[in-house]
Amino acid sequence: MTSAYVLKRSRLTGLVLTLLVTLASSGPAFAQDLLIRGGTVITITNGDLPDTDVLIRDGKIAEIGEALEAPDGVRVIDAQGRFVMPGILDDHSHMGVDRGINEGSRSVVPEVSIADVIKHDDPAFFTALAGGITTIHTMHGSANSIGGQNEVIKLKWGRPWEELVIEEAPITLKLALGENVRRSSSPNPTRYPRSRSGVAEVMRESFQKAQNYLDSWEDYEARKAAWDREGRRSRGVSPLPPKRDLQLEALAGALNGTTILRVHGYRADEMAMMMEVANEFGIPGGVFEHALDAYKIAPEMAANGWATSVFADSWGYKIEAYEAIPYKMLIHYEAGVRTSINSDSAERVRRLYQEAARGVKYGGVPENECLKMITINAAMNLGIEDLVGSIEVGKDGDIAIFSHYPLDTATRVEMTIIEGEVYFDRNEADVAAEWVLDPDGGKETP
């Protein structure tokens, strides 16, 4: 560690307190104006721009170009020799939840929401920021045929909970296939379903109930409209609405296209079954999680509007994962299956850009396509591509600044920015880390 970081405890303590107070004291509407100067801007959607500036105003990308003038009072960050890319998205995570990611008492629990138990101050969020992550999709677990609702949040570490939530994000609902649902490793595996065919039956029955629920509301609205036109004059009794059902209400969102299905699955035959069930009820696709066998049915997935969220090259850790191959990203890309790379881990999340680089290693996926898998593809899988996932005017000012090209093995994240506010700065983070590791400032303990 360089001498610049060899500081006395008092100075270290003061810096750490300053960082925390700055985060805690700024108001809920706080979004910093920022000019990032002279870096190579990897826009993701419009090519790479050398020696380019990015101006962020009120938390949004306001201008992209060369030699932009910094408005009065705007902080300037020198990014010369650095690479500036959109903040990375991890669209399959369980960060922020201490255990309890599964409501396993019943097989169908779509009324449950993981948002009710997320810890907004989870230290793992700061670790993720060190890896350039700005947005995560924190999910219900995979113990249920139809699990709970998930939550999309920004990693505004130290900010109040309500500022982390992306209100514009569509609802996403966790479903699951395979051995996790059947609870094959549970010490008390008594809950239905106990077979793969049983999982399919549970889904069909649940979606049919939701369809009946939608139909009952449509019928009520029609009868209510007719009564409003004619019944009032005859002083007839107004039709009564159906009894509200939170479970069926959550499922109905999948049927009318307002909720995105996120389906845990490994085997190709099970994913094919899921697509068949979805087609029966007119569900317009979704996203398969993990999907290690999806390469076997990639053309069918593309034709039916299904995307994937995968590990780069993890395999063999359970029987369902035995037939995974590291070339799946290439096969998905060539078949037209939108694919993102996820962490499913509070540790792997800090190097998701290295996971993306494996797409180049295994099969030669184009570099920018690999970067899409941790940015715009993940954003599209979450329905928030109009907000994040690329560097474009009008989008949120979520940025990761790298020392080298993001897929370079020697690179590291220098700074992570969310809506124009710096949430991770490696220089300051290193100082804080030294204080944590050596709180006595090098003094010997008596």
360, pLDDT greater than 60: yes
Q: How far is 381 from 172, CA to CA, in rounded Å?
A: 10
Q: What is the mean pLDDT of residues 287-307?
A: 97
Among candidates 156, 173, 154, which has minimal Cα distance to 165?
A: 154
284, pLDDT greater than 50: yes
At 190 the pLDDT is: 66
**pLDDT level of residue 30 (50, 70, 90 thresholds):** low
* DSSP labels, 289-341: EE-TTGGGGHHHHHHTTEEEEE-SS---SSGGGTT--TTHHHHHHHHT--EEE
Which amino acid would we find at residue 23?
A: L
Q: Quick check: 139 and 93 in contact, CB under 8 A?
A: yes
Query: Given CA atoms 416, 422, 423, 427 in this order, what sign does their dihedral have?
Result: positive
Secondary structure letter of residue 165 according to DSSP = B
Q: What is the mean pLDDT of residues 154-159?
A: 91
Q: How far is 198 from 185, CA to CA, in rounded Å?
A: 17
26, pLDDT greater than 60: no
List, for residues 61-106, the tens digit of each pLDDT value: 999 999 999 999 999 999 999 999 999 999 999 999 877 788 888 8
**pLDDT level of residue 24 (50, 70, 90 thresholds):** very low
- Whether omega for the bond prior to residue 193 falls within 30 degrees of 0, making it cis, is yes
**pLDDT level of residue 230 (50, 70, 90 thresholds):** confident
Q: How far is 150 from 148, CA to CA, in rounded Å?
A: 7
Highest mean pLDDT, choosing among 119-123, 256-260, 372-376 = 372-376
Among candidates 177, 173, 181, which has minimal Cα distance to 107?
A: 181
Task: Give residue 184's Cα distance to chain centre.
Answer: 28
121, pLDDT greater than 70: yes
At 183 the pLDDT is: 67
pTM given for the model: 0.88
Using DSSP, how many helices (H) and how many strands (E) does the chain show?
14, 17
Domain boundaries, the chain: 29-87+389-445, 88-388
Q: Quick check: 42 and 402 in contact, CB under 8 A?
A: no
Q: How far is 403 from 76, CA to CA, in rounded Å?
A: 17
* Average pLDDT of the chain to the nearest whole number: 88
**pLDDT level of residue 196 (50, 70, 90 thresholds):** confident
At the fourth CATH level, the homologous superfamily of domain 29-87+389-445 is Urease, subunit C, domain 1 (2.30.40.10)
Among candidates 264, 289, 276, which has minimal Cα distance to 175?
A: 264
Secondary structure letter of residue 415 according to DSSP = E
Q: How far is 386 from 388, CA to CA, in rounded Å?
A: 6
Within 13 Å of residue 402, how many CA atoms lie on the same side as its CB? 24
List, for residues 393-418, the tens digit of each pLDDT value: 999 999 999 999 999 999 999 999 99
Which CATH class name applies to 88-388?
alpha beta
299, pLDDT greater than 80: yes
Q: Quick check: 174 and 253 in contact, CB under 8 A?
A: no
Q: Quick one: 7 exposed, middle or buried, by C-beta within 10 A (0-12, 13-18, 19+)?
A: middle
Within 13 Å of residue 309, how many CA atoms lie on the same side as its CB? 30
Q: How far is 13 from 436, CA to CA, in rounded Å?
A: 10
- With residue 123 as reference, give the H or E element that holds it: helix 123-129
Q: Quick one: 238 exposed, middle or buried, by C-beta within 10 A (0-12, 13-18, 19+)?
A: exposed
Q: How far is 56 from 31, CA to CA, in rounded Å?
A: 9
* 362-384 burial: b if 16+ Cβ within 10 Å, else e: bbebebebbbbbbbbbbbbbbbb
The packing angle between helices 196-226 and 268-280, to 10°, is 20
At 346 the pLDDT is: 85
Among candidates 109, 273, 267, which has minimal Cα distance to 175?
A: 109
